[in-house]
Chain A
Amino acid sequence: MNRQIVRVSVVALVLLASLVVGTTYWQTWAASSLKDRQDNAIQRVAQFTIRRGLVYASDGTLLAARRAEKVRGQTFYFRRYPAGDLASQVVGYSTQSRSRAGLERSENDYLTASNSHLNTVFRRTLDKLKGTTVTGNNLVLTIRPQAQKVALDALGSNCGAAVALEPSTGRVLVMASSPTYNPNLVEGRFDAIARQARGANCASPSPLVNRATAGLYTPGSTFKVITAAAALDTGTYTPESTFDDPGYCIEYGKKVSNFADQSGPEVFGHVDFPTALEHSINAVFCEIGKKLGPLPILDYARRFGFYSDPPLETPSDERVPSGLYDHGRLFRPRDPNQVDPGRLAFGQERMQVTPLQMAMVVAGIANGGVVMDPYVVEKITAPNGSTVTRTHPHALRRAIKPETASELTSMMERVVRSGTGTAAQISGVAVAGKTGTAETGVAGTNTTSFIAFAPADDPKVAVAVYLENQHGVGGQTAAPIAKQIMEALLRSRP
């Protein structure tokens, strides 16, 4: 019988050894993917035993702090957001009941010191061996709190978003989404958030959504900047090109009229290119679009970053790409006949943009044609203050030639000096901008917008403002908000 016993014992040992293999799989190979699962309640609770890193604004204002609480002998570190609703959609929240959002989610590894930078690994291991509580790394953001506050106040009860970038680096100076929410309410009084947002001027206020990166808006005439960039950069037109505006443009055998006031559609007659942008003449841009064709215009949009998620440190599912959308999905036309070139040229068609994307467009023009990757995390520091990692400005790509950028700049200056964007004038500072008013077919439900940068000769700030459900036009509604943000940022230059 001994031979059989040997074989049975081999079977038993193989079975037990398979358990070592199985355990090894879960504890090494699969451990990090288990950790990243949103429904992992153990991980979620376990992370509260770590002294989560703090989040600061660029001037040291504390945006996310810790609140230690002893529960049955164990100390947990919960979140407290001293700045309230200031930058909620960017910072996000870290809670037990609703997991995490925003940078709290995407930068979780740093905040819990589970990132793989050598000095963090060393410190974490030392803490574990000593039996002391592991402390996470801190985030220092690029956000300027005073200007952020100005932006939020200016947006008021409007639904919409405002983004301000530093053109030369891509730093996000302001990222305000309205209505905003108080992240301190997420854990215990979540329903209060929806209640407080009820006063906002739109059907679905969705305060948790970061409209700056995930809100899609019809750009309207702000898109003309991209059409103009394509027209000039390809050499098809120059600033000296002239046009005849009959007040409409013929597309597919039908009239597409200019913007209409009480006296009917405006008619400008013989105009040059800068005047067409200054007064935002649809008929002229319609003709330009027909001449260029839709695919070159979309190609220039792509050069500015359209058709891919705008690069930012927030979670990728909180950012959406800009571009043509067909039935809720990003649409990449292969055939020029699939797109109406005239309407595309003045930002209608099925073009949808995020405020961040349009801020990248103006920032690119301001930066001599080079679009920088936007970033909101300036640096990550260890608990002792030493820098773990710092973000270095990085160019996304050159979108247009420097000459094109300077031509566009002077054209956009005229928009603010004497065109549709005069409400954005700042005394003593040259502002370059472009207004947008997208009609949705129902009166009082326009999407209005303004994109701008200043000072025009030495740009320090580029801004994009998008508003939902407006009665007025972009020059009256969005431009004053953009102006206040630019003023605040230019005044408080560090």
Chain B
Amino acid sequence: MSARNRELANLVAVGVLTGLGFASVYIARQSVISAGSVSYALIFLGLYLGAHGVARIAVPWADPYLLPLTGLLTAIGLTEIYRLGPSDAFRQGFWIVFGVVVFGAALIFLRIDFRALESYKYLFGVSAVGLLVLPALPVIGTRINGARLWVKLGPLQFQPGELAKIALIVFLAGYLREKREVLAQGRLKDFGPLLLIWGAAMLVLVETNDLGSALLYFGIFLAMLYVATGRAAFVGLGIALFVAGAAVAYRTIGRVQDRVDCWLNPWHDVHGLCYQTVQGTYSIGNGGFGGTGLGRGTFTTTGGSDLIPYVNTDFIYSALAQELGLVGVAAVLLLYMVFALRGFRISMLAEDGFSKLLAAGLTFAFALQAFINVAGLVRVAPLTGITLPFVSYGGSSIVANFLLLAGLLLVSNRANAPR
């Protein structure tokens, strides 16, 4: 079976699963929502068939598993968001449509040779910095849940950091491809860029008050630096620098300190500072091994007020864990693992340095972001304000991750193309 036919078969399976998901939410909550909702699954399948069609034309040799994996993750997220609040699901649906359009456009636009991006690497670098600075600006910058990660333009509100992530990866892929030999020698003066990016990550940390975003950008950088130079010492040094910076942040930034304290011991202030952490944990614990079943979890009091804050964005994993149980979320985590494995495989198959670095960077960013989000909820790490890729509610995250997917498919297509 050809790659695209395999993709099609997988997508149909995803469509069936989506239908089952919506159907079970409908059965559990039929007094609240209408039967028409099940037809959303059909619309959803149609959308992905469209994406598949574009892929057939633009990237015929690309990896056949990433698009169905994405479809499944967005379906799981959409189903849960739908269960939590049908009106949010409608908006999320719109963002998925928009994400798929951006994805298709990127594929068509870059199908001849995406490596042209390399010549614009500094433009990407500058845009990444610009996007990161946006939320700090007065008037448009907005603080939500204590983290300054948002920009508000009239009714529109987005997280520029999500797009900055993609721009940063493109920049680093180009920059490190060019400088890798020099950097690998490890001369003192070449540590300049390392310190520069460390400084930038620290700046992000101070600006956003969010340990997670800083960790994400800096982690992407370290991984790509390591892939480019093969020097583990750089990684060690980088981690040491980051820990030092984080320690200073812990002492000076109240929110960072609260988050770390609640990570180490959330029970000291269950109703105050650590409320979010504790509620997330309770939600996960309530799921147990098999979960309560879709639509049967507890997210509001009997009076209708929310028990879990930000349940469809930062905390969606704890909602999934409650309704799908360990069996369900372990499967979700497995999807992330398979996605990451396919991504790293693409990176290894790619022939030129830029493509390799780009694919490795995009994949690692994807895996690390999922890790940081969930780690905060299962208390492997402090709670942070970043989203679960493709699953969390939120336009910027969805669009940015569809761009990430497009990047991986473009690299994969080129690597697998017959010559």
A residues sitting closer than 8 Å to B (CB atoms) are 1-9, 11-13, 15-20, 22-28, 30-31, 34-35, 37, 39-43, 45-46, 48-49, 69-74, 76, 78, 96, 128, 131
Q: Are B371 and A15 in contact (CB-based, < 8 A)?
A: yes
Q: Are A48 and B302 in contact (CB-based, < 8 A)?
A: yes
A12-B363, A19-B371, A24-B326 as given contacts; A73 in contact with B31, CB under 8 Å:
yes
A435 → chain B closest CB, angstroms: 49
Q: Are B333 and A13 in contact (CB-based, < 8 A)?
A: no
Q: Are A16 and B31 in contact (CB-based, < 8 A)?
A: no
Q: Are A42 and B302 in contact (CB-based, < 8 A)?
A: no
Apart from A12-B363, A16-B371, A41-B307, list 4 A-B contacts with CB within 8 A: A5-B360, A8-B226, A23-B284, A48-B302
Of chain B, the residue at the smallest CB distance from A14 is B371
Q: Are A25 and B302 in contact (CB-based, < 8 A)?
A: no
A17-B337, A20-B330, A34-B281 as given contacts; A27 in contact with B271, CB under 8 Å:
no
Question: Can you give 29 A-B contacts (C-beta < 8 A)?
Answer: A4-B230, A5-B344, A5-B347, A8-B344, A9-B344, A12-B344, A16-B333, A16-B370, A19-B371, A19-B380, A20-B330, A20-B333, A22-B379, A23-B284, A26-B378, A28-B288, A34-B282, A41-B279, A41-B282, A42-B282, A42-B286, A42-B308, A42-B322, A43-B285, A45-B298, A46-B286, A48-B302, A49-B298, A74-B29
Q: Are A27 and B321 in contact (CB-based, < 8 A)?
A: yes
Q: Which residues of B contact A46 (CB under 8 A)?
A: 286, 292, 298
A19-B371, A26-B285, A26-B378 as given contacts; A42 in contact with B279, CB under 8 Å:
yes
B69 → chain A closest CB, angstroms: 14
Of chain A, the residue at the smallest CB distance from B223 is A8
Q: How far is the CA of A8 from the CA of B226 in the complex (A)?
A: 8
B22 located at the interface, meaning its Cβ lies under 8 Å from any Cβ of chain A in the complex: no
Partner of B353, one of A1, A31, A34, A73: A1
A5-B347, A43-B286 as given contacts; A26 in contact with B281, CB under 8 Å:
yes
B385 located at the interface, meaning its Cβ lies under 8 Å from any Cβ of chain A in the complex: no
B374 located at the interface, meaning its Cβ lies under 8 Å from any Cβ of chain A in the complex: yes
Q: Are A45 and B364 in contact (CB-based, < 8 A)?
A: no
Q: Which residues of B contact A31 (CB under 8 A)?
A: 285-286, 288
Partner of B228, one of A1, A26, A49, A76: A1
Of chain B, the residue at the smallest CB distance from A45 is B298
Q: Which residues of B contact A41 (CB under 8 A)?
A: 279, 282, 301, 307
A414 → chain B closest CB, angstroms: 58
Q: How far is the CA of A23 from the CA of B290 in the complex (A)?
A: 13
A19-B371, A42-B307 as given contacts; A9 in contact with B228, CB under 8 Å:
no
B32 located at the interface, meaning its Cβ lies under 8 Å from any Cβ of chain A in the complex: yes
B341 located at the interface, meaning its Cβ lies under 8 Å from any Cβ of chain A in the complex: yes
**By DSSP majority rule, is chain B's interface helix, strand, loop, or mixed?**
helix
Partner of B380, one of A22, A35, A42, A74: A22
Q: Are B227 and A27 in contact (CB-based, < 8 A)?
A: no
Of chain A, the residue at the smallest CB distance from B308 is A42
B329 located at the interface, meaning its Cβ lies under 8 Å from any Cβ of chain A in the complex: yes
Which B residues from 289 to 313 make CB contacts under 8 A with A?
289-290, 292-293, 296, 298-304, 307-308
B368 located at the interface, meaning its Cβ lies under 8 Å from any Cβ of chain A in the complex: yes
Q: Which residues of B contact A35 (CB under 8 A)?
A: 285-286
Q: Are B367 and A15 in contact (CB-based, < 8 A)?
A: yes
A22 → chain B closest CB, angstroms: 3
A4-B230, A5-B227, A30-B285 as given contacts; A45 in contact with B302, CB under 8 Å:
yes
Q: Which residues of B contact A128 (CB under 8 A)?
A: 290, 293
A9-B344, A40-B282, A45-B302 as given contacts; A16 in contact with B337, CB under 8 Å:
yes
Q: Are B337 and A13 in contact (CB-based, < 8 A)?
A: yes
Q: How far is the CA of A131 from the CA of B28 in the complex (A)?
A: 9
Of chain A, the residue at the smallest CB distance from B373 is A19
Across chains A and B, which 8 residue pairs bring their CB atoms closest together, nearest first? A22-B378, A34-B285, A73-B31, A9-B344, A73-B32, A12-B367, A46-B298, A27-B326
Q: How far is the CA of A8 from the CA of B219 in the complex (A)?
A: 11
A411 → chain B closest CB, angstroms: 55
B375 located at the interface, meaning its Cβ lies under 8 Å from any Cβ of chain A in the complex: yes
A80 → chain B closest CB, angstroms: 15
**By DSSP majority rule, is chain A's interface helix, strand, loop, or mixed?**
helix
Q: Are B330 and A23 in contact (CB-based, < 8 A)?
A: yes
Q: How far is the CA of A15 from the CA of B374 in the complex (A)?
A: 10
Q: How far is the CA of A19 from the CA of B333 in the complex (A)?
A: 8
Partner of B32, one of A25, A30, A72: A72
Q: How far is the CA of A96 from the CA of B300 in the complex (A)?
A: 12
B394 located at the interface, meaning its Cβ lies under 8 Å from any Cβ of chain A in the complex: no
Q: How far is the CA of A131 from the CA of B301 in the complex (A)?
A: 21
Q: Which residues of A contact B290 (CB under 8 A)?
A: 128
Q: How far is the CA of A24 from the CA of B27 in the complex (A)?
A: 28
Partner of A4, one of B226, B285, B286, B300: B226
Q: Are B378 and A19 in contact (CB-based, < 8 A)?
A: yes
Q: Are B325 and A27 in contact (CB-based, < 8 A)?
A: yes
B398 → chain A closest CB, angstroms: 21
Of chain A, the residue at the smallest CB distance from B285 is A34
B377 → chain A closest CB, angstroms: 8
Of chain A, the residue at the smallest CB distance from B346 is A5
Q: Which residues of A contact B378 (CB under 8 A)?
A: 19, 22-23, 25-26
Of chain B, the residue at the smallest CB distance from A16 is B337
Q: Are B282 and A2 in contact (CB-based, < 8 A)?
A: no
A16-B371, A71-B304 as given contacts; A8 in contact with B364, CB under 8 Å:
yes
Q: How far is the CA of A127 from the CA of B223 in the complex (A)?
A: 49
Q: Which of B325, B364, B379 has the most CB of A within 10 A?
A: B364
Q: How far is the CA of A128 from the CA of B289 in the complex (A)?
A: 13
Q: How far is the CA of A20 from the CA of B327 in the complex (A)?
A: 10
B260 → chain A closest CB, angstroms: 17
Partner of B326, one of A9, A17, A23, A69: A23
B287 located at the interface, meaning its Cβ lies under 8 Å from any Cβ of chain A in the complex: yes
Q: Are B230 and A8 in contact (CB-based, < 8 A)?
A: no
B221 → chain A closest CB, angstroms: 12
B11 → chain A closest CB, angstroms: 24
Q: Are A72 and B367 in contact (CB-based, < 8 A)?
A: no
Q: Which residues of A contact B347 (CB under 8 A)?
A: 5
Of chain A, the residue at the smallest CB distance from B366 is A12
Of chain A, the residue at the smallest CB distance from B283 is A42
B325 → chain A closest CB, angstroms: 7
Of chain A, the residue at the smallest CB distance from B370 is A16
Which B residues from 249 to 288 make CB contacts under 8 A with A?
270-271, 278-279, 281-288
Partner of B340, one of A12, A24, A25: A12
B95 → chain A closest CB, angstroms: 25
Q: Which of A23, A25, A71 has the most CB of B within 10 A?
A: A23
Q: Are B375 and A19 in contact (CB-based, < 8 A)?
A: yes
Of chain B, the residue at the smallest CB distance from A2 is B348
Q: Which residues of A contact B279 (CB under 8 A)?
A: 41-42
B264 → chain A closest CB, angstroms: 15
Q: Which residues of A contact B322 (CB under 8 A)?
A: 42
Q: How far is the CA of A131 from the CA of B308 in the complex (A)?
A: 25
Of chain A, the residue at the smallest CB distance from B330 is A20
